[in-house]
Amino acid sequence: MGRAEGGPRGFAARAGGWSARHRWAAVGIWVLFVVVSVLAGGATGTEELGNGQLRGETTQADRIVDEAGIVEPAGETVLVQAEDDTLTSQDAAFRSAVDAVVTAVRQTGEVTAVVSPYDSGSISRDGRSALVAFDMKGDPETAPDRVGTVLEAVAEVQEEHAGTLRIEEIGSASMNKTFDDAFADDFTQAEYSAVPVALGILLIAFGALVAALLPVVLAITAIMATMGLMGVVSQIQPMSDTANSMMLLVGLAVGVDYCLFYLRREREERAAGRDARTAILVAAATSGRAVVVSGVTVCVAMAGMLFTGIGEFQSMGLASLMVVAVAMVGSVTVLPALLSLLGERVEKGRVPFLARLRKGAGGRGGESRFWTAVLGGVLRRPLLSLAVAGGALVAVALPALGMKTQNLTLDQEFGDSLPIVATYERINEAFPGGADPAQVVVRAGDIDAQPVQEAIAAFREQAVSSGASEGPVEVVTDAGKDIAFISVPLVGGSDQERAEKSLLLLRDEVRPATLGAVDGVEAPITGQVAGSLDFNEQLTDAAPPVFAFVVVFAFVLMLLSFRSLAVAVTSILLNLLSVGAAYGILTAVFQHGWGASLVGAEGVGAIIAWLPLFLFVILFGLSMDYHVFVVSRIREGRMQGRTTREAITHGVVTTAGVVTSAAVIMVAVFAIFGTLSMQSMKQMGVGLAVAVLIDATVIRAVLLPAVMALLGEANWYLPAWLRWLPDLSHEAPGAPAAAEEARGEEPAPARI
């Protein structure tokens, strides 16, 4: 059957051939693209993702507030708490401290609506704790930038009463400032660490500075271009800080890996005696094609996040998709031009010790002998290898059956690493549920109507009598907008599971019996606990279509790329097993705390809500890097006349060095995120690092060859009724076609 854009005449080979012949033009176009992208992003700015991205009651409450034109201020609270039992709120010293706090925050000029606990009744049952409440002036979105002055004023009052009273501030502005500062510090650390780590690993892999720098430089330029493009795209789909971080993480990992695949194949062909131009063309037709296939798979997998309907996921998906696409295009266009320009100079900056080490290991990264020994055992006993390795991964995946997801509370996210966490816990202990109360947004045709007021009063009473809250349940009414806000401290406080039960009690029993009995009244219940619950429910609804989209597309792409039903099916099953094992390890470590100290973490009882779906999408895409690369070499060996087992040995052993180097880079970059202070980032970093490690070792070096050895010739089976499908496979590299391409001539149409 005639080839449709496959083999040496595919996109990667065409791009590589053109780039090698028009070297300066290719480099110039890439530099221009990066510069224009950066300038465009700077000109448009970046639209930040706001609230209201969820369905359910959380969004309903936001909509009511927005339609009423109400701007809810950033609320802050100062805890005044006696250090021991000798002092209570009735003592003069305690009252004096409260008055000092009220005066200090007012004098900053940044606050309004300051309320003393002696006026609001916000005094704990034991009398040892009191809360001074106030709102930040101005736009609540910018309040975190302005709250520093207030925090300093409160800190001065604390110094004056050190040893007798704790005086600590917490609220939406101060927590967001703390979170933003910690987030920025974490990712500054990650950014400064990731590039040197990747460069060091590449230096070991290549033994030459120039060769090691090429993938890093291309990855960094791809990230720069994507940052600019994100600004433009954010005008349609706003972006979040998390999306920026994901883009950096994914961009560095895949950008370096794609260049590594290409560069290693080009060097291998030159070592085999091909001239420089032919080596580039062979690398383009083989590794370049593998880069395109895996890159397209990753992009489409990331596109699956667009089906969630959640702004955070949509921004992460778009950012990751763009950086992968840019890195993929750069790898198959500008990299051949740079290799052609550099020629032998790509070996400049050789490190003598590393060069000797690589030469002694056969020039393949020092892994061939090890993987040859492992592979020999696998191929001698493929069924046993499949049973042992597969059984082990299934066992590792089992804890995932009990995975619990939620948005992490402040204490879960930061543990003991930040002082504000201790404040959060002390308020929850003294005022159960007070740190994260539920808020009922009540809208009626006439909020002052007697039936509405009676329903609000009944709700307040039953919220406590039902056991959902210990009070105080506070009501603030805006008669001009016909809206009332009911603040309900939930029983359970920082214990998310208990707090969710209290919330559901309010939603399912208390509200229907009170506010729900009055016609024309809307009363959605929102807040931190409600937001987490609604987010989880939306993710649960979104997961099946996302999973189906990614799996089906990956299957079709593998089928077209290898024209084999067996390869397509085993690709999906092995990837699912890899993802399942990663889920199991995440659940064991971060939910149950098994071995958490080994990765500097702690069991927090749950997995951050967005992570399982994100991990599935990104791992399903990234695992194709190795799978396509290895299976392509196995197929090449088979097409060159080797038996299936010989082809398996050829494919795995010849790719061992590059797959190992690529995996080490990805694991190292992802592991950096596992060292950050935020538990959500630790979970993401550990999950990605473990999954890539499993994928590049157990999956590619044991399970894949074991399955292919057992299938034998069935590996290459394509039913007759599917042979009409387009042929996107590639030929084994041949000198005639490559030589014609190198001279700029049209090779004869290839057939298989």
Q: Give tens-digit pLDDT for 311-333.
A: 778 888 888 889 999 999 998 89
Regarding whether 228 and 130 lie in a shared domain, the answer is: no
User: Above 60 in pLDDT, residue 247?
Assistant: yes
d(CA 7, CA 22): 21
CATH number at residue 18: 1.20.1640
Mean pLDDT of 580-590: 91
* 479 and 401 part of one domain: no
Highest-confidence segment of 1-15, 454-468, 667-681: 454-468
The confidence score (pLDDT) of residue 296 equals 85
How much is the mean pLDDT over the chain? 83
Q: Please tell me the predicted confidence (pLDDT) of residue 458.
A: 93
What is the average per-residue pLDDT within 90-118?
92
Domain match, 441 and 485 both: yes
Q: How many residues does the chain have?
A: 752
Same domain, 568 and 715: yes
**Does residue 716 sit in the same domain as residue 585?**
yes
Residue 155 lies in a domain: yes
pLDDT at 22 exceeding the cut of 70: yes
**Kind of pairing between the strands at 525-526 and 111-115:** unpaired
Residues 386 and 316 in one domain: no
509-540, pLDDT tens digit by residue? 999 999 988 888 999 998 888 888 888 888 88
Mean pLDDT across 475-484: 85
Cα angle 21, 26, 31 (rounded to 5 degrees) comes to: 160
> 563 and 701 share a domain?
yes
Q: Which of 249-263, 292-306, 403-417, 720-734 has the lowest mean pLDDT?
A: 720-734
Q: How confident is the model at residue 355 (pLDDT cuts 50, 70, 90)?
A: low
Structure tokens at 555: 């299957």
Residues 56 and 100 in one domain: no
Place of tokens 């750069």: 330
Same domain, 89 and 162: yes
- The amino acid occupying position 177 is K
Per-residue CA distances from 454 to 368, 450, 466 (Å): 79, 6, 18
The CATH number covering residue 491 comes to 3.30.70
Cα–Cα dist 176/424, whole Å? 13
pLDDT (0 to 100) of residue 322: 93
Percent of the chain with pLDDT over 70: 91
Q: Are 280 and 18 in contact (CB under 8 A)?
A: no
Per DSSP, helices labelled H in 138-240 are 143-146, 148-160, 172-206, 209-233
Confidence at residue 752, expressed as pLDDT on a 0 to 100 scale: 33
CA dist 697 and 635 (Å) reads: 20
The contacts of residue 194 (CB under 8 Å, 6+ apart) are 248, 249, 252, 669, 672
- Give the pLDDT mean for 85-94: 88
One domain, residues 59 and 97: no
- Domain with 125 in it: what CATH number? 3.30.70.260
What pLDDT is attached to residue 53? 54
Percent of the chain with pLDDT over 90: 23
Confidence check: pLDDT of 748 > 70: no
CB 56 within 8 Å of CB 537: yes
Provide the residue range defining the domain that includes 513. 46-70+437-526
288 within domain boundaries? yes
Q: Is residue 87 domain-shared with residue 167, that is, in the same domain?
A: yes
Summarize pLDDT for 6-20 with one digit per residue, the tens.
333 467 788 888 888
Q: Which two tokens stand for residue 326?
A: 């840019």
What pLDDT does 327 receive? 92
Other Cβ atoms within 10 Å of 714 Cβ, number:
12
**Average pLDDT over every residue of 175-204:** 77
Residue 526's nearest CA partner among 65, 195, 151, 179 is: 65
Strands (E), 390-530: 405-406, 438-443, 474-478, 483-488, 525-526
* Structural domain total, the chain: 4
SS3 label, residue 622: helix
Contact in structure between 639 and 650 (CB atoms under 8 Å): no
- Confidence band (pLDDT; 50, 70, 90) for 54? low
pLDDT tens digits, residue range 599-642? 766 677 888 888 888 888 888 877 777 787 888 888 888 888 88
Average pLDDT over residues 104-117: 91
Answer whether residue 362 shows pLDDT above 50.
no
